Amino acid sequence: MEKAGNGSIPSLGSGNSAPQGVELRHLRYFVAVAEAGTFTQAAERMYVGQPTLSQQIRRLEEFVGTPLLQRRREGVRLTEAGTILLEESRAVLSMVDHGVSRTRQAAGLGRSRLRFVVQPQLPPTLAAETVSRLRSAAPEVDVTWSERALDADFSSILQRRADAALGWLSPANCTLPDPLDVMDIASFEPDVWIPARHPAAVKGGVGLDELARMHVIHGPRHADPGTYEAWRSVLRTSTPSFDFTDPPFWQSLPMTLAFAATGSRPSAVLTGPCRPVGIDPQPTADAGRHDLVPVRVERSPLTATAGLVWSAELSRELQQVLFETAEDIAALIAAPPMSRNP
């Protein structure tokens, strides 16, 4: 077996020699691009220039002898060979990281390490409080933070690319596969904005049937596919042909409200889950300018549950820290608004 003193790997997968010249950094860059979906985002995540990253991926493809990514205007897509290499690269990198961690601990240098993922577009208070409390509860733990989309099975933890995550639990999955542990934190519902002249605006609540008959603008599916599909299914129980409309400015609520206000038919704006169930929505100046008012969906049929998920393979000490953090956040969100600390 060839030595890999310069960072190259002697094998990739079982029984096959790696192409000469492939190094761990090539695999890390490749995984970053595959997960980010674009070279620009991957370069930012890896703190390298985009030209450098592109050059290293091209070099990896030359080493392997086949294209790994299809470059498209909207991003990159894995080829069949790229899909295989992605799975193998994750396994190799996880094994190396785990080995380095065990070596440091054996030498008395190790501190507990935790790779924590936060799903994008969570309610700001939920995400901020979780991060703050976790850092306070575990000052001796080296925590690596990342923000990226999570699937319903929290595969990033199953595949050992992360140790724990804060995200939305799929309504279809009552239980998560081993070795995942989960603690529910709280259920959230969306803010709904409707024209001030709509009859439901006076009573402060809109029925599901009324909402399903409107032109409903909602954030794009990729932001949270599980919740998006679940809410669409609920609305289709009332109106089978119902479908959401993606906003052209989904990152800006004020611009989306302005877009809705200029439609030729009654339009509603539905945000992602952002407000604890049972808390009344609050009006904003941006909505007032466009003659839109916030209302609740009666009986709260549209909800999503946030949960803290972690690997049961973590040390007992780390699992206890995560459990207590989830418990504290759940208690904070359940407390009456006036009793919460500012």
Position 46 scores a pLDDT of 80
CATH class of 24-106: mainly alpha
Stronger pLDDT, 108 or 317, i.e. the higher one: 317
Mean residue pLDDT across the chain: 83
Question: For residue range 29-54, what is the model confidence (pLDDT) as tens digits?
Answer: 999 999 889 998 888 878 788 888 99
Distance of alpha carbon 177 from alpha carbon 158, whole angstroms? 9
The CATH fold assigned to 188-297 is D-Maltodextrin-Binding Protein; domain 2 (3.40.190)
Q: Residue 284: which pLDDT band, with cuts at 50, 70 and 90?
A: low
Question: For residue range 236-247, what is the model confidence (pLDDT) as tens digits?
Answer: 999 999 999 887
CB 178 within 8 A of CB 312: yes
Q: Residue 209: which pLDDT band, with cuts at 50, 70 and 90?
A: very high
| 71 contacts: CB under 8 Å, gap ≥ 6 | none
Task: Please give the CATH number for the structural domain made up of 113-186+304-339.
Answer: 3.40.190.10
CB 167 within 8 A of CB 259: no
Share above pLDDT 70 across residues of the chain, in percent, rounded to a whole number: 85
Position 186 scores a pLDDT of 93
- In this chain, the answer to whether the domains covering 113-186+304-339 and 188-297 adopt an identical fold is yes
For 20, half-sphere exposure in the C-beta direction (CA atoms, 13 angstrom radius) is 1
Q: How far is Cα of residue 25 from the mean position of the Cα atoms in its chain?
A: 25
DSSP string spanning 17-43? BPPTT-BHHHHHHHHHHHHHSSHHHHH
Stronger pLDDT, 232 or 16, i.e. the higher one: 232
Domain extent listing, the chain: 24-106, 113-186+304-339, 188-297
Q: Between β-strands 304-311 and 292-297, what pairing exists: parallel, antiparallel or unpaired?
A: unpaired
Q: Quick check: pTM over 0.85?
A: no
Position 255 scores a pLDDT of 82
Question: For residue range 145-179, what is the model confidence (pLDDT) as tens digits?
Answer: 888 888 888 988 988 889 999 999 987 656 788 88
Position 67 scores a pLDDT of 94
